[in-house]
């Protein structure tokens, strides 16, 4: 397992060792002890989620107030541009975003700790995105940050207008969105 920093210190890119031979490949997608050793903290995942989307779908930017979720995100089919936005008011990177192409080819994963909004844009014909979450879905605390907020200026790799849900189209700007206090 290789772990590298992104432009936001607490968001990490994790690349598992991939062992190829004539039959295909094998990888260990998650190892609790190695993961915690690299992060320097205890992590307890309680829920796994799977999202299947078609080309040009943009989901997000989602987060939960009251029961924030850390997420370990990976793509098992296709390719997405995955984004994390720092909503921790007292963080030196508050309001900043980082993005990474995750695919079934590069096997990279993105660790997004609690206090971040998360979203992704599908670059391939279809994509299956899996993520582990550190807390359960909490509908009362669910919030959406506007994916195209001019203050965030996320550089989505859009070839055409994205396909977004009604909820995602009416997310709040960074200025109006609820934030996390560390």
Of 62, 63, 107, 118, the active-site residue reads 62
Q: Does the active-site annotation cover 25?
A: no
Which member of 63, 118, 121, 131 is catalytic?
131
Q: Are strands 109-112 and 12-15 parallel, antiparallel or unpaired?
A: antiparallel
The Cα–Cα gap between 149 and 173 comes to 6
Burial of 92 (0-12, 13-18, 19+ CB in 10 A): exposed
Q: Is 136 a catalytic residue?
A: no
CA end-to-end span of the chain: 29
Residue pair 78/125 in contact (Cβ under 8 Å)? The answer is yes
User: Which residues are catalytic, by number?
Assistant: 62, 131
């Amino acid at each position: 397992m290789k772990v590298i920093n992104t432009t936001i210190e607490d968001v990490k890119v994790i690349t598992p060792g991939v062992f190829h031979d004539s039959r295909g490949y094998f990888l260990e997608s998650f190892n609790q002890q190695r993961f915690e050793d690299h992060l320097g903290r205890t992590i307890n995942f309680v829920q796994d989620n799977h999202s299947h989307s078609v080309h040009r779908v943009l989901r997000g930017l989602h987060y939960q107030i009251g029961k924030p979720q850390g997420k370990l995100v990976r793509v098992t089919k296709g390719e997405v541009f995955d984004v994390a936005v720092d909503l921790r008011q007292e963080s030196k990177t508050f309001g900043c975003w980082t993005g990474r192409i995750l695919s079934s080819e590069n096997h990279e994963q993105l660790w997004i700790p609690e206090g971040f909004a998360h979203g992704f844009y599908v670059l391939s014909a279809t994509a299956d995105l899996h993520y582990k979450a550190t807390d359960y879905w909490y509908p009362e605390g669910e919030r959406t940050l506007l994916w195209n907020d001019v203050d965030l200026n996320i550089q989505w790799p859009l070839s055409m207008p994205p396909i977004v849900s009604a909820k995602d189209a009416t997310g709040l700007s960074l200025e109006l969105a609820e934030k996390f206090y560390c």
